[in-house]
């Protein structure tokens, strides 16, 4: 279970850094606070954590599209950025999906 939590926290820190780089302080702080829901052992908190992971993955997709389009327009290389952001997307999706395991759900009663 601890590895799943660590993976989610890493994904939360990455999306918080993304928002912070854009100057969006409130979403960055919210992303840093979301992992605290692991301490509230109810099923709705687990569902909220999963939703946060999947919404973050959507943000990574939008960021990837934006950055690739921007680099293409400028004639700059874009493949490396796309690969890095795709890896972060996959990490975030994995963090959300792993929260649906039986060992986690057993610790978060309905």
CB contact at 8 A, 12 and 28:
no
Q: Which of 66, 51, 78 is nearest to 18 (CA)?
A: 66
Answer whether residue 97 shows pLDDT above 90: yes
pLDDT digit string, tens, across residues 73-95: 999 999 999 999 999 999 999 99
- Domain residue limits at 55: 2-107
- Greater confidence (102 vs 55) lies with 55
pLDDT number for residue 106: 87
Answer whether residue 66 shows pLDDT above 90: yes
pLDDT number for residue 58: 97
CB contact at 8 A, 103 and 1:
yes
User: How many Å apart are CA 104 and CA 102, to the nearest integer?
Assistant: 5
pLDDT number for residue 105: 85
DSSP states of 29-94 = HHHHHGGGGGGS-SHHHHHHHHHHHHHHHHHHHHHHHHHHHHHHHHT---HHHHHHHHHHHHHHHH
pLDDT number for residue 62: 97
| Mean pLDDT within 31-47 | 94
CB contact at 8 A, 4 and 101:
yes
Q: At 30, is the pLDDT very low, low, confident or very high (cuts 50, 70, 90)?
A: very high
Q: How many domains does the chain have?
A: 1
């Amino acid at each position: 279970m601890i590895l799943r939590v660590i993976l989610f926290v890493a994904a939360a820190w990455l999306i918080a850094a993304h928002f912070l780089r854009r100057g969006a302080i409130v979403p960055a702080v919210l992303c840093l606070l979301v992992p605290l829901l692991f301490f509230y052992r109810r099923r709705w908190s687990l569902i909220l954590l999963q939703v946060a992971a999947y919404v973050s993955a959507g943000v990574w997709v939008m960021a990837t599209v934006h950055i690739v389009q921007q680099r293409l327009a400028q004639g700059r290389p874009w493949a490396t950025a796309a690969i890095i952001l795709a890896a972060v997307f996959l990490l975030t999706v994995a963090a959300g999906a792993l929260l649906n395991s039986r060992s986690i759900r057993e610790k978060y009663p309905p």
